[in-house]
Amino acid sequence: MTDIIEIQDLLVRTIIGINPEERENRQDVLINLKFAVDIRPAGQSDNIEDAVNYRTICKSVFSFVESSSFMLVEKLCEEIAIICLKDRRIQTVWVSVEKPGALRFATSVGITIERSQDV
């Protein structure tokens, strides 16, 4: 059995892209995270120590992305996954990063990756 924790639509401004104007001006990125976790220990104990503290992870991701400066969304996704998987209770993470307005005639363009703990 796998339980899912979701963080939806985390909006962060960062330097991302390969074009000169993208290297100078912060852009909005929209981040969605899903964690595969066994929440039974927290569900039984009602104790934060038994839970994945998604608020802490969200703050870590936000701070990291806000201060980052990557060329590729692919790299940003990989780094966010690494941050999330530092909590060994997270078995698998799905990271989606979108750049709203990055393509003409498209609302957004984005990438989704899935990464798991090394066994």
Which residues are catalytic, by number? 99
CA nearest 117: which of 48, 8, 30, 37? 37
Contact indicator for 62, 71 with CB cutoff of 8 Å? no
How many C-beta atoms lie closer than 10 Å to residue 68's C-beta? 16
Phi–psi pair at 65, nearest 5 degrees: -65, -40
Contact indicator for 57, 84 with CB cutoff of 8 Å? yes
